Chains A and B, each alone.
Chain A
Amino acid sequence: MNIFIVSILTLLFVGAVSAIILFLASKRFKVFENPLIHQVEAALPAVNCGGCGYPGCHGFSVACVHAESLHNLVCTVGGKATMEKVAVILGKTASPVIPTLAVVRCGGSCEKRPHNNQYNGVSSCAIAHNLYGGETGCTFGCLGLGDCEVACKFDALHVNPITKLPEIDEEKCTSCNACVKTCPKLIIELRNKGIESHRIFVNCINKDKGEAIQESCSVACIGCEKCMNECAFDAISMANNLAFIDSYKCSLCRKCVSVCPTNAIVEINFPLKTNKVVDNVVSV
Chain B
Amino acid sequence: MGGIHPKTYKLSAGKQIQAAPIPTQAIIPLGHYLGGPSLPIVKAGDVVKVGQMIGQASGFVSANVHSSVSGTVNKIDSHIDASGYKVPSVFIDVQGDEWLESIDRSSEIKRECTLTSAEIIKKISESGIVGLGGATFPTHVKLSPPPGKKAEILIINAVECEPYLTCDHQLMIEKTEEILIGITILMKALQVDKTIVGIENNKKDAIDLMKKHAKAFAGIEIIPLQVQYPQGGEKQLIDAVIGRQIPSGALPIEVGAVVQNVGTTFAIYEAVQKNKPLFERVITITGKSVKNHSNYRARLGTPLADIVEHAGGIPEDTGKIVAGGPMMGRALTTLEVAVAKGTSGVLFIQTPEAARKKMQNCIRCTKCVVVCPMGLEPYLLMNQSERSMNTEMEKDRIMDCIECGCCSFCCPSNRPLLDHIRYGKSTVGKIIRNRQAKK
List residues of chain A with CB under 8 Å of any chain B CB.
116-117, 120-122, 124, 126-127, 130-134, 139, 208-209, 212
Contact = CB atoms under 8 A, between A and B. Distances in A.
Contacts of B78: 208, 212
Interface stretch (B16-24, B81-89, B173-181): B81-89
B202 interface: no
Given A121-B416, A122-B416, A132 B330 contact: yes
A139 B355 contact: no
A132 to B, nearest CB: 3
Interface stretch (B214-222, B297-305, B420-428): B420-428
Contacts of A131: 84, 330, 419, 422
Interface of B: 77-78, 80, 83-86, 330-331, 333-334, 355-356, 416, 419-420, 422-423, 426
A1 B80 CA distance: 92
A121 B419 contact: yes
Given A116-B334, A117-B333, A122 B83 contact: no
Given A132-B85, A133-B333, A209 B419 contact: no
B423 A126 contact: yes
A120 B78 CA distance: 27
B84 A133 contact: yes
Given A121-B356, A139-B84, A209-B77, A132 B331 contact: yes
A132 B333 contact: yes
Contact of A127 (B80, B330, B333, B419): B419
Nearest to A209: B77
A221 to B, nearest CB: 16
A127 B78 CA distance: 24
A132 B419 contact: no
Contact of A139 (B85, B330, B356, B420): B85
Contact of B355 (A120, A124, A130): A120
A130 B426 contact: yes
B421 to A, nearest CB: 10
16 contacts: A116-B333, A117-B333, A121-B416, A121-B419, A122-B419, A126-B423, A130-B426, A132-B84, A132-B85, A132-B331, A132-B333, A133-B86, A139-B84, A139-B85, A212-B77, A212-B78
B356 A133 contact: no
Contact of A208 (B83, B86, B334, B426): B86
Given A130-B423, A133-B84, A134-B84, 8 more contacts: A120-B355, A120-B356, A121-B419, A127-B420, A131-B419, A132-B85, A132-B330, A133-B83
Contacts of B80: 133, 139
Contacts of A120: 355-356
Q: Closest 7 interchain pairs by CB? A: A132-B84, A133-B84, A117-B333, A122-B419, A127-B423, A122-B416, A130-B423
B287 to A, nearest CB: 17
Contact of B86 (A122, A124, A139): A139
A121 B85 CA distance: 18
Contacts of B420: 122, 127
A258 to B, nearest CB: 31
Contacts of A127: 419-420, 422-423
A121 B330 CA distance: 13
Contacts of B84: 131-134, 139
A251 to B, nearest CB: 35
A209 B75 CA distance: 13
B259 to A, nearest CB: 27
A124 B83 CA distance: 18
